[in-house]
Amino acid sequence: MPMPLYGVVNSPCRSHCRAAATLLVSVSLLCSCFAIAMPSVVVTVDQSGKGDHRRIQDAIDAAPANDSSRTVIRIKPGVYRRKVVVDKPYVTLTGTSATSTVIAWNESWVSDESPTVSVLASDFVAKRLTFQNTFGDSAPAVAVRVAGDRAAFYGCRFVSFQDTLLDETGRHYYRGCYVQGATDFIFGNGRALFDKCHLHSTSPDGAGGAFTAQQRSSESEETGYSFVGCKLTGLGAGTSILGRPWGPYSRVVFALTYMSSTVRPQGWDDWGDPSNQRTAFYGQYQCYGDGSKTDGRVAWSHDLTQAEAAPFITKAWVDGQQWLR
């Protein structure tokens, strides 16, 4: 609403003042439109020195700290072996292709600073990149930690062994992504929608693999993971469960998803605590493939109806209508 023009009501030149005020408001709105429509700042990272920066972190450090205009960082093909911390909002990292543009690090998960890439700020976007932690199978090793709100990943790859993708907190969207690991390789307490993604388990037979370990700790938390139109594969038959509760109110739903024989018939596990069976919410809706059969599922999981699945299977699950473009 327009602000009142103080001191004008009793002025003999009221009409002139109103005209000036109208002009001022018009100019202000025009400036606002230009501010909203400002093009993104685009910079290039190239290890060969042919771009604006050689290192991804240098490009992020050079981005405005408190600016609603987007900084697009185009990363030329190569393997960038340095940690990356995204601590500024409205940053986009985009590669040429996920197979040719790789961000890699080699470190076990011992602190919040351990992941290959840490997304701490809001409104982050990544496209066509591989995030990898090459530490191996002797300890958890996080490829990406997502702790900022409204983060979106398109056509990206996440590769490690245990605890690959820490979807920690905030609302997140993954479309057409590939996530690889063996144990709890998608974990945390975020609210995430995985849309047409490929989850691949590298857990060997008898190792107790798990696709997810969601951490919701109370019924009031609006968190959980939803997988819609995805594909689940692995190295062998019956090597992985769909998930286990890192928190007692853990919540995970698979819908319209292909499940290979890699998925164990029981589907879910209570992580050695039967009380989790009363509080965790695990369900599937119209999934298909050898691993999708529900007759062998644990009794406390849910074979969802359309009405029960509805809240989980659209972008509204992450309030995407408000922020996804």
List residues with catalytic annotation.
Answer: 184
113 backbone dihedrals φ, ψ, rounded to 5°: -90, 0
Q: How is 17-76 classified by DSSP, letter by letter? A: HHHHHHHHHHHHHHHHHHHHTPPPEEEEE-TTS-SSBSSHHHHHHTS-SS-SS-EEEEE-
DSSP 8-class letter at 188: E
Q: Which residues contact 168 (CB under 8 A, 6 or more apart)?
A: 145, 146, 147, 188, 189, 190
- Asked if 252 contacts 214 with a C-beta cutoff of 8 angstroms, the reply is yes
Smallest CA-to-CA distance from 178 within 162, 210, 209, 201 is with 201
Distance (Å, whole) CA 244 – CA 130:
26
- Asked if 85 contacts 120 with a C-beta cutoff of 8 angstroms, the reply is yes
Distance (Å, whole) CA 260 – CA 266:
14
Place of tokens 């002797």: 138
What SS3 state is found at 84? strand
Distance (Å, whole) CA 4 – CA 273:
63
Q: Which residues contact 52 (CB under 8 A, 6 or more apart)?
A: 43, 44, 45, 59
Smallest CA-to-CA distance from 123 within 90, 164, 146 is with 90
Q: Which residues of 62-100 are buried (b: 16+ CB within 10 A; e: fewer)?
A: ebeeeeeebbbbbbbebebeebbbbebbbbbbbbeebee
